[in-house]
Structure 1
Amino acid sequence: MSRVSARDALRYATEDDVLVLFAVIAGGWVFLTVGSFALAGHGFGLMFALGILASLAGALAVFAGVVGLAYKLLVDSRRAATE
């Protein structure tokens, strides 16, 4: 197994593609948090419905971001191993 320098790791972590995936995960986390606060209200009004939608959208965004990041890491690591 080859060694990876800290500079190379930081350069990889700040590439545009990886930053977009980090932004998707962070945005999903924000939606999930906002949705959970909206769900904490009482009753089944408009805020409850918006809380459900925000929570579902946030959960989907976090899941998609994590899967996308894992896929990118796997593909890039396999590509680097064959070079």
Structure 2
Amino acid sequence: MNTHDKFVASHTVGSLLTEFKQQLPELIDISAESTVEEAFDILLANDITSVPVYRIQDDTKEYITIVNTLDLLRFTIINVSSSI
């Protein structure tokens, strides 16, 4: 096992949080009812590439997926291209 393999096999995500993420930010999420524009704005404003998506069901927030920049770009390009 090489040095890289040993390192990733022996360290936890918790150790990453301790070393690099001293102050954990509030979770950023979006509603499934958000527009594609709102999703892009949230990603850009928070300097992130993906965001959890939720829906409210029976007054409970339920996470249903994660949307990333590539998903949004692909969706936009496919739909705009097909309407030209």
Same fold (TM over 0.5): no
TM-score by length of 1: 0.29
Which structure has more RCO (C-alpha within 8 Å, separation ≥ 6)? 1
TM-score by length of 2: 0.29
